[in-house]
Each structure stands twice: as structure tokens, then as C-alpha cells.
A and B are shown apart, each in its own frame.
Chain A
Amino acid sequence: MIIESSDQVSRLSWLKRFPIPRNFKVTPESRIERGRTWPAPADAKRVKAFEIYRYDPDSGGNPRLDKFHVDVDDCGPMVLDALFWIKNKVDSTLTFRRSCREGVCGSCAMNMDGTNWLACTRFISDLGTNATIYPLANMRIIKDLVPDLTHVFAQYAAIEPWLYSKTPEPEKERLQSPEERSQLDGYYECILCFCCTSGCPSHWWNGNRFLGPAVLLQAWRWLTDSRDEAKGERLDALEDPFRLYRCHTILNCTRTCPKGLNPGKAIAEIKKAIVEREK
């Protein structure tokens, strides 16, 4: 099956997950236990089941998988609508981040049916009969679907996402030609939802040192900015076996980006820029 754009949902219903044990490499505090099942409303005609990852830090217990039954006729079309429906009508303790409900803020990034996307722009009808909803993969979980993003934002800060200038300040703004400005297209649109970083196997295994696709895409956004004058220093900081070169061009990042951006290509541009300056 040829995927044309990242919003295309895989129609393959077999092999929804890798054939490995559920608790493969899982530490005791992260083991997922069976949760409770909430019945559908008695008058519901079209019902869809959602298995949702729950974690309550105050209970002292482990994460669990609760099963909810959503009345699709009583609910909006998006997965975020289903989460609201559950929170309003079934279990008000269900916790998740959301803000814009239109794919601009990146708050509601989560793992639905095994792939990362924004809950506000994923149709309920695109999920399988037994939909599974987990928080972003490989994140420390604060509560339910709310991941702790401190580490990835610290990685973002590490690439110094602001302009550096060495030349004296001009009287007016620093000008850019339309061509120079177009170099930022496909990179400036990143909303830092971290769907890509959380879907990157290299970041799963070496996330403490590998910067991950989202941050490296941002790194390229500043490298390719004609107004920035710290290209050499930026490349020096990135030229590291872990920070940059743990990227093995798996390209799960490009497959999962909810904005249709291409972190894989941005990383290849960085690698090429490092090779070219060494000539």
C-alpha cells in the first residue's frame, strides 16, 4: 500500500502491533493492568468501543486500560469529541490536554490505534472497531493522556531556537527575499506536538541523548534562515554521534506528522550541510 500523505490511515487491519510480549522491556511501574469497563447508554444505537490508557498518580496504582462505549450518534465526529463525550457523560476524571480543537496548537497529540496524531483532526470513523487510545509513546505520564514534555522541551531549548546575529543591527528590520523566506516553508509550520519524536524508535532507545525529529527539524529551520549568522556554531553543536547521528532514517516521523511536514528530510539536510562544509 502506497501512502501518499501522512493523514492517510492504514487500511491493513492485521498486525496492529509488533508481535512481541505486551510487557516487553516494561519496568514494573509502567506495567499496564486491566481496568474497568463502562457500559454503553441503554438507548444508544451505534456504539463504538474505546480502550483508553488511564493513570492516576494519586491512587498509588499502576496504569490501567479502561474500556468505554461511546454513543456515536450523540457525539461529534472527531476522537477529541469522543474524549469530551466520555468526560462529560461517563467518567469526569478522564484527563487530557486540548486547546484549539482544529490542529493548530498541538496539545491533543496522542497515540490512536497505534499511530501518533492529533485527537482533534482524527475522525472516529478512521479508527478500528476496538479503538485504542494511549498517550504519546515513550513519555513519562503525569496523568491519563497527559505526558510530561519537560525533557523534549529541554531538548528544544538546547538547539537555541532564536536568531543569532553578528553583524551590527540594521536601522530597520532584517530583510529577506521571497526566495530566502521560502527556505523556511515546510519547517516553520511545526507546532511542536512531538508526534514525530514520540514515534521515533531511535528516540525510544536513546531519547536522553538523541534530540529527536521535532527538535532536529527546528534546528534546520534556524540553520536555513538567511538572517541567522551562527550556522557554523549550530552545526558544531549538532555534529555528535548521539544528538544528530542516532537518526537512522527510519522515517516514522514523516509518516506521522499531523501537519504533513518532513522531519526526515530536514535531518538529511543537516547531515548534508555538515558533509559539505568539511569539503
Chain B
Amino acid sequence: MINNGTTDGNSTPTRPRPLSPNIQIYRPQLTSVLSIANRVTGLILSLGAVGLVVWLSAAAAGPQTYRVVQDVIESWAGQFALFGCTFAFFLHLCGGIRHLVWDTVHGFELRSIYISGWTVVAASIVLSAAAWTISLFVAGWHP
């Protein structure tokens, strides 16, 4: 768009034409909310990857450093962040599969869009719960 507020550059209004509101007024819908969620979870996973490297480096550095990092992870805040990362992982994974299906030009009927969307949400909740149940069952609970 041209900066004087017109889009053709021919008309010259005395002041720039206002831009009508977009994100400020547009109704949140499953379509847009899941798209934003896919972005945000991708960001969280990048941060989680940094956390993974910190954890591995600490393990390589020695038992004392590892203990410090492990204490952080085992704190309530650490457990909360870890669960958040798990949920972000599954939401991003399921969302990614949904996008792969779309790339084959399938599932574009509005009904399918909404069914697959809610399936992604439900599957991520179930998979996160399952992953934590299994890991707690295997490793035990050490608060």
C-alpha cells in the first residue's frame, strides 16, 4: 500500500485514509486460533530445544551441574514448563499432520476443517496425559 493512505496513488486525500481494524475486531475462530497455536507451540518447542541442550550439557559437565539443572526441572515451575512443552509438542505434531493432509488437497470442506481441528485439540490433550502417565509410571514421582 502507498503511504499516503490511498491504494492507487492517484487520489490525494488531505489526510491519510484510516485503515479499518483487523485483528482488533475480527472474531477468534477455531481456524485462526489453531493457526496461532501452531505458531506459538513452534516457538515454545524452539525454546524447549534450548532447554534440552542445557540439560544434556549439564549431564556432560558433571554430577554437580546436573544436580542443579535437575533441581530446576523437578521444581513445580519446572514440571509445569515440562508439561507445557509436552502439550506444545503434541499440538504442533498433530497440527503438522493436519497441514500435511491439507497439502494433498483433502479435508477442505468446512465440516472436515472443524472436525480435524477439534480432533487435533482432543488428541494433544489425550497424548500429553498419556505421555505423563506412562513416564510417571516408569520413572516414579519424585517431587
Question: Which A residues have a C-beta under 8 Å from some C-beta of B?
Answer: 1-6, 10, 15-18, 20-27, 29-30, 32, 53, 55, 57, 60, 62-63, 111, 113-115, 132, 134-142, 147-148, 150-151, 154, 198-199, 201, 204, 207-208, 248-252, 254-255, 262, 264-265, 268-269, 271-272
B20 touches A201 (CB 8 A): no
Q: How far is the CB of A19 from chain B (nearest CB, A)?
A: 9
The answer for the CA separation of A115 and B22 in the assembled complex, in Å, is 10
Residue of B nearest to A114 (CB): B27
Closest residue of chain A to B8 (Cβ to Cβ) is A150
Query: Closest residue to A32 on the B side, CB-wise?
Result: B21
Q: In the complex where A29-B16, A264-B108 touch, is A154 in contact with B5 (Cβ < 8 A)? A: no
Cβ-defined contact, A15 with B110, below 8 A:
no
Question: When the two chains form their complex, are residues A250 and B32 in contact, meaning their CB atoms are under 8 A apart?
Answer: yes
CB of B132 within 8 A of chain A? no
Q: Do A137 and B15 touch across chains, with their CB atoms under 8 A apart?
A: no
- Whether the pair A60, B28 counts as a contact (CB closer than 8 A) is no
User: Are B108 and A262 in touch, CB under 8 angstroms?
Assistant: yes
> Is A6 within 8 A of B1, CB to CB?
no
A136 lies within 8 A of B111 (CB): no
B104 and A272 form a contact (CB under 8 A): yes
Is A20 touching B24 in the complex (CB atoms < 8 A)?
Answer: yes
A22–B112 Cα gap in the complex (Å)? 33
Size category of the B interface is 35 or more
User: Which single residue of chain B is at the shortest CB-CB distance from A4?
Assistant: B111
Chain B residues in contact with chain A, CB under 8 A?
Answer: 1, 5-8, 13-32, 35, 99, 102-105, 108-111, 113-115, 118
When A140-B6, A268-B103 are in contact, do A134 and B15 touch as well, CB less than 8 Å?
A: no
Q: Enumerate the 6 nearest inter-chain pairs by beta-carbon distance, A residue then B residue, closest first.
A: A114-B27, A151-B7, A265-B108, A138-B22, A30-B18, A140-B17
Whether A55 contacts B18 by the Cβ 8 Å rule is: yes
Interchain Cβ contacts under 8 Å between A and B, 17 examples: A5-B111, A25-B23, A29-B5, A29-B15, A63-B18, A111-B25, A111-B26, A137-B21, A140-B1, A141-B20, A201-B22, A248-B35, A255-B31, A262-B108, A262-B110, A265-B108, A268-B108
- Chain B residue numbers with a CB within 8 Å of A199 are 26
Structural contact, A141 and B29, CB atoms closer than 8 A: no
Nearest-neighbor residue (CB-CB) of B5 within chain A = A140
A208 cross-chain contacts in B, Cβ below 8 A? 1
Q: Which of A3, A10, A114 contacts B26 (CB 8 A)?
A: A114
Contacts of A22 in B (CB 8 A): 24
- Which one of B6, B15, B20, B30 has the highest number of Cβ atoms from chain A below 10 Å of its Cβ? B20
CB of B67 to closest CB in A, whole Å: 40
Known contacts A27-B19, A30-B18, A151-B1; decide if A269 and B105 are in contact (CB<8 Å): yes
Cβ of A201 and Cβ of B23 under 8 Å apart?
yes
Q: How far is the CA of A25 from the CA of B24 in the complex (A)?
A: 9
For the complex, give the distance between the alpha carbons of A239 and B104 in Å.
Answer: 18
Question: In the assembled complex, how far is the CB of residue B105 from the closest CB belonging to chain A, in whole angstroms?
Answer: 5
- Judge whether A255 and B29 touch: CB under 8 Å: yes
- Closest-CB distance, A225 to chain B (whole angstroms): 18
Q: How far, in angstroms, from A148 to B8 measured CA to CA in the complex?
A: 9
